[in-house]
Copies of this chain bind each other. A is one copy, B any other.
């Protein structure tokens, strides 16, 4: 499998989901929706449609715009209801059999499901199910949901699904489809986003509002933490079948994952990022001549920073968007120039200047190191790195691909050591309270945090059953597959 080694130093959201009920050409609209959610997963995607008689599924590796937009593919997805999923493939891969949505023919009829998040006791539950004879055809935690539904003793479909989800820990925002309904659910903490929209008579479920915008759908509201909405021909119904908990939405969605033009949990992402920049300028400004973002993710915070600090905002680093997904660094002798495939400093802007460099986060630190070096080579006299989030010091188990804790720079170095490591004149991270302020909270409530901020604080809001017992963390299936 081809690698993009210069890309393994960012965090990756693992999924985006989208569904539309009761609309001609449903799969074409799902395609558009997934295209606008492409930032949540670029490796593979799938769509399941239902034409009133039969389910249809397509799964492909690659970008939506290269795969699902072919006429022949869409023709194989007829019907007025469809759900889709876009995915960032984590290590191990597993090929197309791990690409969602998953589908099962239950004795009561077909059921398809697409899931954003991560179940933290999936392996444990899978082992139980295997002991009673269930056969898993993937290594995905999502398949566990299908089997729990299939083996539920409950009578009605919604009850089976509630039954199933009640067995699970972790994060899930999911969209499900049966012959007569579409269902959207968020876990009780509402860790991952899910929104409800409307396009004329059709209801839409999507990970973010930008996916409503692309099809011209109106935003109705966020699905609430712990809510299950059921969309049928008769309209929409809402339930709260799980034990009520305080919401803990993922704060990193604001920092990096969500698209800047999306509104999540009532807040506009671009505005929060600009406010993050302002907070950062207030907390830790350094004397400098220009504010330069690491594009593209650092741009809104840099604009906010520059406005607050009264410094010029300059595109001092140009990003090349043509990077292919399989850009192998051709030979050893030029391997070190990886970062240049994506970023080139503009010497005329930077030379002789004191530069505030704004980036969203530091993961392993290797990219920051290289970018700082580029900026210095381009003639910056000082480089002051400002990070639009607190130090990332703990892994995420809720659907984000993070390196193990020991690989996170912030887990093994102090800020001073990090500054030294990436060779900047000064380094500052946004404080956790500064981050909360940017979201319009007065500060982090230590007793009952308003968000999931485990990647910054190590304070995990759910049990982590699979990960607590080390021997259970091997992948479930012994099968390595390519077909």
- Asked if A59 meets B268 with Cβ closer than 8 Å, knowing A105-B477, A107-B127, A107-B130, the reply is no
A334 at the interface (CB under 8 A from B): yes
Find out whether the CB atom of B478 lies under 8 angstroms from the CB atom of A263. Answer: no
- Asked if A55 meets B479 with Cβ closer than 8 Å, knowing A70-B326, A71-B328, the reply is yes
Q: How long is the Cα–Cα vector from A36 to B307 in the complex, in angstroms?
A: 31
Name A322's closest neighbour in chain B (CB-CB).
B38
Write the nearest CB–CB distance from A416 to chain B, whole angstroms: 31
Q: List residues 333-358 of chain A with CB under 8 A from any CB of chain B.
A: 333-334, 337, 340-341, 344-349
List B contacts of A328 (CB < 8 A): 69-71
Q: How long is the Cα–Cα vector from A333 to B29 in the complex, in angstroms?
A: 10
Write the nearest CB–CB distance from A317 to chain B, whole angstroms: 8
Q: Please indicate which of the listed interface residues A38, A55, A151, A318 has the most CB atoms of chain B within 10 Å of its own CB.
A: A318
A330 at the interface (CB under 8 A from B): yes
Report A58-101 CB contacts with B as 1/0, cut-off 8 Å: 11100111110111001010000000000000000000100100
Interface size on A, residues (CB 8 A): 106
Name A39's closest neighbour in chain B (CB-CB).
B322
Q: How long is the Cα–Cα vector from A479 to B215 in the complex, in angstroms?
A: 27
Interface of A is mostly: mixed
Find out whether the CB atom of A313 lies under 8 angstroms from the CB atom of B313. Answer: yes
A57 at the interface (CB under 8 A from B): yes
Stretch from A132-140, A245-253, A386-394, A405-413 that touches the partner = A132-140
Q: How long is the Cα–Cα vector from A135 to B325 in the complex, in angstroms?
A: 35
- Asked if A315 meets B299 with Cβ closer than 8 Å, knowing A66-B325, A105-B479, A135-B146, the reply is yes
Find out whether the CB atom of A340 lies under 8 angstroms from the CB atom of B479. Answer: no
Write the nearest CB–CB distance from A375 to chain B, whole angstroms: 12
Q: Which residue of B147, B312, B315 contacts A270 across the interface (Cβ within 8 Å)?
A: B315
Find out whether the CB atom of A64 lies under 8 angstroms from the CB atom of B322. Answer: yes
A235 at the interface (CB under 8 A from B): no
A462 at the interface (CB under 8 A from B): no
List B contacts of A130 (CB < 8 A): 105-107, 150
Write the nearest CB–CB distance from A430 to chain B, whole angstroms: 20
Q: How long is the Cα–Cα vector from A53 to B479 in the complex, in angstroms?
A: 10
Q: Which residue of B46, B215, B300 contacts A337 across the interface (Cβ within 8 Å)?
A: B215
Report A131-157 CB contacts with B as 1/0, cut-off 8 Å: 111111100000000110011100000
Name A57's closest neighbour in chain B (CB-CB).
B481
Q: How long is the Cα–Cα vector from A353 to B393 in the complex, in angstroms?
A: 40
Q: Which residue of B54, B331, B482 contacts A478 across the interface (Cβ within 8 Å)?
A: B54
- Asked if A478 meets B63 with Cβ closer than 8 Å, knowing A32-B341, A331-B74, the reply is no
Find out whether the CB atom of B135 lies under 8 angstroms from the CB atom of A337. Answer: no
- Asked if A326 meets B65 with Cβ closer than 8 Å, knowing A127-B107, A270-B346, A482-B57, the reply is yes
Find out whether the CB atom of A54 lies under 8 angstroms from the CB atom of B480. Answer: yes
Q: List residues 468-483 of chain A with CB under 8 A from any CB of chain B.
A: 476-483
List B contacts of A55 (CB < 8 A): 478-480
List B contacts of A39 (CB < 8 A): 322
Q: How long is the Cα–Cα vector from A210 to B35 in the complex, in angstroms?
A: 30
Write the nearest CB–CB distance from A298 to chain B, whole angstroms: 12
Q: How long is the Cα–Cα vector from A271 to B350 in the complex, in angstroms?
A: 12
A24 at the interface (CB under 8 A from B): yes
Q: List 8 A-B contacts (CB under 8 A).
A: A46-B483, A53-B478, A59-B483, A60-B483, A76-B480, A105-B478, A259-B344, A303-B314
Q: List 18 extra interface pairs beyond A69-B327, A105-B135, CB under 8 A.
A: A28-B331, A32-B334, A32-B340, A38-B320, A39-B322, A55-B480, A56-B479, A59-B482, A66-B326, A69-B328, A71-B330, A110-B478, A137-B137, A214-B344, A261-B344, A271-B348, A303-B315, A321-B321
What are the 8 closest A-B residue pairs judged by CB atoms, nearest first? A65-B324, A59-B483, A133-B151, A28-B330, A268-B348, A66-B324, A38-B322, A261-B346
Residues of A at the B interface (CB closer than 8 Å) are: 24-25, 28-29, 31-32, 35-36, 38-39, 42, 46, 53-60, 63-67, 69-71, 74, 76, 96, 99, 103-107, 109-110, 127, 130-137, 146-147, 150-152, 210, 213-216, 259-261, 263, 268, 270-271, 296, 299-300, 303, 307, 312-315, 318, 320-331, 333-334, 337, 340-341, 344-349, 476-483
